[in-house]
Structure 1
Amino acid sequence: MLSDKKIAIAILNYNGLGLLKKYLPSVIEYSNNKISSIYLIDNNSRDESLVFVRKNYPHIKIIENKKNYGYSKGYNIGLSEIKSEYYVLLNNDVEVTKNWLNPMIELLESNENYATCQPKIRSSHKRNKFDYAGASGGFVDLLYYPFCRGRIFNTIEKDKGQYDNEKEVFWSSGACLMIKSKIFKKLNGFDSDFFAHMEEIDLCWRLKNLNYKNYCQPKSLVYHSGGQTLDESNPKKTYLNFRNNLIMILKNENIFKVFPIIFIRTFFDFFASIKISFDKKNFFHTLAVLLAYTAFTFKIPKIIINKKVWISNRANPKKIILPIKYFFMGKKRFSDL
């Protein structure tokens, strides 16, 4: 599907009629149609999503996937049909603001090695606070626990402008991710085995191992609802987060470091599983973590066979162990780390 526009805004959708009604108008209003086209990649929705878009926004190009492939494979298939210089992967529960595209594309065009960029992401529900999924740019600690400028574990900061500087980050959020299309294709896109969750961190890590850089550009601002695909209380979300994080580590870390890291992780993850179950009053979250480790164990041979990075890991994680900083030292803001 050839586009004459520099930017393709690609919105992945599955049964998201209500979200499209609420959030799509801002994308239409604030996206510069001189440089961008909007695409809806639909994962075989069973609601009236496509009817609604065709009736109300006939200029939006629709790509219909044959089934619900999840985030990773859904985007891989959909983006393979789009030819633009830049992709913007946008969740269907994101509200964009005026001039949201220009600061990001200007940043990526300033350097050939800049591969991805995310905006500053605030919560749609508490609009003066950062959003859980990305905030003002993503990082990882020595054990590859992800956190953000503005969000560490479940502690979310108010946005007071404290992280408004443009900054290189470890990962850009998949809620709103601008990426050069040639680089996305060079990496063969997301890892389809992830289905959903952690796939953007894995992608950004693979980019870093090829000497590319990921950025956050806070001059661009969006609001994210979050938890629309899988609610935080759903044990499947816990399962995917833990399983995919382990897969990501084995894929991308130095082979001599990876198993000691995973060994240490098992202790922290065991206690994390109990805490999550206690906080959510649902024992199935502990079971979800055990199942995640079981599924990961069965995948180890395949991951090692396909492993691209054996020695050279350019990830450069933060030189901290986040659970110790957070739970034992009380460091709950990014600026305190």
Structure 2
Amino acid sequence: MYKSSVIIVNWNGENHLRECIDSVLLQTYKDGYEIIVVDNFSRDNSIEILNSYKDKIKIIYLKENTGFDKGNNIGMLEAVGEFIVLLNNDTKVEENWLEELIKVAESDEKIGIVGSVMLRWNTRIVDTAGDGCTWAGVGFKLFSGKKYDDIPENIEAFGACAGAALYKRSLIKEIGFLDESFFMNLEDVDLSYRARLAGYDVAIARRSIVYHKVSSSVKKVSYLGNYYASRNIELVWWKNTPRRYLIRSLPDRLLHLVSSFISSLRSREKFLSYSSGKMAAWKEIIGGKTNRKNVQKVYNGRDLVLSSEIYRLFRSSRT
């Protein structure tokens, strides 16, 4: 029996898949772990690469591109570990990556999610060291652009980036896993938010280091990436914001809508994907398809520490 299961969802990742798998195979963690790769109907040479590892990893071949979320959920159903660890295919990890994640996860039973520190490819510059979240439902990267040596020893984050994160199976049993309706983008913010509502803590393992080719998959489908980002921000906010905080969140919501609309005017494609995403989100919200009622059932009334949209925009402009 494996104690942890590492799930990698792949879609046309021939340029980085081998480096990713090789780095996971070299982990110092000794208690046993399995590697599960879910291939989302790749049309490049990914299948040939995966088949060369068939004696070392479990491979699930899908007949269509199900997206990041459903792909990981399918992998989770095959996983046997107590810890479910997600990893992007455009990464490579240091040898103690998994060991450090599990060490933090086992340090406190209240911790349900543990994130890695993701560095920009072959640098010591931070891509993300955990996620923040604003009252508008906007997730954002913490310490992005900072030198790794300059980030604090103890990182306080609202959530963890699912590109390299551990989830306890006990957490998943209680609140569910990735919301497949998100397809991609902000599903990790949604999951971290639901964990917070249920009273779980989120931790960042500072010494669990991942090198990341930032957004290599999303760049191939920029329209879809923008569409789901625009849409899913609305779903994160409406699903998860407790009733007592809805009015408090309205100034952030207004600021987000104004600033994101102005940003969308930079190009025709961005405006179309932005407006289509917003319309799709509100159609789901008005139609009652966001599962808000069930999400709010787990809320135990504890205070939530979210950032302001003003702070996020200020920080983003400085970066």
The TM-score, its normalising length taken from structure 2, stands at 0.89
1:13-35 deviation line (CA, Å, top 9, x unaligned): 11212221333222222353642
Give the direction of change, closer, same or farther, for the CA distance of 1:325–1:10 in structure 2 (3 Å limit).
closer
- The separation in 1 between residues aligned to 2:269 and 2:126, in whole angstroms, is 29
Deviation at 1:47, TM superposition (A): 2.8
Letter in 1 for 2:134: D
Matches of 1:64 and 1:233, distance apart in 2:
21
Secondary structure of residue in 1 paired with 2:125: coil
1:44 aligns with 2:37: no
Q: Name 2:143's counterpart in structure 1.
A: 150
Residue in structure 2 matching 1:53, options 43, 50, 54: 50
Give yes or no for the alignment of 1:130 onto 2:152: no
| Cross-structure match for 1:169 | 157
Structure 1 stretches lacking a partner, 5+ long: none
**What corresponds to 2:21 in structure 1?**
24
Is 2:199–2:300's contact at 8 Å kept on the other side of the alignment?
no
Count of matched residue positions in the alignment of Structure 1 and Structure 2: 316
Aligned partner letter, 2:171: I
- The question of whether the paired residues in 2 share the 8 Å contact of 1:170 and 1:315 is answered with no
Aligned-partner residue type, residue 228 of structure 2: L
Match of 1:299 among 274, 284, 291: 284
Find the counterpart in structure 1 of residue 62 from structure 2: 65
Distance 1:264 1:325, change over 3 A: closer
SS in 2 for 1:115: strand
User: Shift of the alpha carbon at 1:95?
Assistant: 0.8
- Kindly indicate whether the alpha-carbon contact (under 8 Å) linking 1:144 and 1:317 is maintained by their aligned counterparts in 2: no
User: 1:165, CA displacement in angstroms?
Assistant: 1.5
Q: Structure 1: how far apart are the matches of 2:71 and 2:221?
A: 24
* Match in the other structure for 1:285: 270
Q: Which amino acid letter does the alignment assign opposite residue 9 of structure 2?
A: L
Spell out, residue by residue over 1:113-164, the C-alpha distance to the aligned partner (whole angstroms, 9 max, x if none). Answer: 1011111110006x13111xxx11111123232223312xxxx2333x2224
Read off the aligned partner of 2:293 and give its amino acid letter. Answer: K
Secondary structure of 1:169's partner? Answer: coil
CA contact (8 A) 1:23 1:92 kept: yes
CA distance in 2, matches of 1:9, 1:305: 28
In the alignment, the residues of structure 2 paired with residue 233 and residue 41 of structure 1 have an alpha-carbon distance, to the nearest angstrom, of 19
Q: How far off is 1:81 after superposition?
A: 1.5
Distance 2:290 2:6 in 1: 35
Q: Which moved more, 1:199-208 or 1:34-43?
A: 34-43
C-alpha distance in structure 2 between counterparts of 1:140 and 1:157, whole Å: 19
Asked whether the equivalents of residues 168 and 213 of structure 1 are also in contact (C-alpha less than 8 Å), the reply is: no
Q: Quote the residue 2:174 is aligned against.
A: 186
Give me the whole-angstrom Cα distance separating, in 2, the residues matched to 1:189 and 1:81: 14
Q: Deviations over 1:29-74 (max 9, x none)?
A: 2353642121111222233323222224521111223321101111
**1:141 corresponds to:** 134
- Specify which of 179, 184, 193 is matched with residue 196 of structure 1: 184
Secondary structure of residue in 1 paired with 2:68? helix
Q: Distance in 1 between matches of 2:220 and 2:301?
A: 32
Alpha-carbon distance between aligned partners in 1 of 2:57 and 2:187, rounded to the nearest angstrom: 26
Partner amino acid, structure 1, of 2:26: E
Please report how far the alpha carbon of residue 230 of structure 1 lies from its aligned counterpart in structure 2 after TM superposition.
1.3
Cα distance in 2 between the residues matched to 1:108 and 1:290 = 40
Question: Which position in structure 1 is the counterpart of 2:85?
Answer: 88
Residue among 232, 235, 239 paired with 1:244: 232
Matched, 1:115 2:109: no
Q: Deviations over 1:96-123 (max 9, x none)?
A: 0121111211111111110111111100
Assess, with a 3 A threshold, how the Cα gap between structure 1 residues 128 and 173 changes in structure 2: closer, same or farther: same
Q: Deviation at 1:319?
A: 4.7
Alpha-carbon distance in structure 1 between the residues aligned to 2:246 and 2:220: 28
Q: Deviation above 6 Å: which 4+ runs of structure 1?
A: none
Aligned counterparts of 1:266 and 1:210: Cα–Cα separation in 2? 27
- Give 1:273's match in structure 2, choosing from 250, 253, 261: 261
Deviation for aligned residue 1:260 = 6.8
**Scaled by the length of structure 1, what TM-score is found?**
0.84
Tell me, yes or no, if the aligned pair for 1:250 and 1:303 is still in contact at 8 Å: no
Going from structure 1 to structure 2, the CA distance change for 1:55 and 1:303 (only over 3 Å counts) comes to same
Q: CA–CA distance in 1 between the matches of 2:88 and 2:105?
A: 20
- Deviations, residues 260-309 of structure 1 (Å, cap 9, x unaligned): 7367524533333333543xxx2221222211111111101324665221
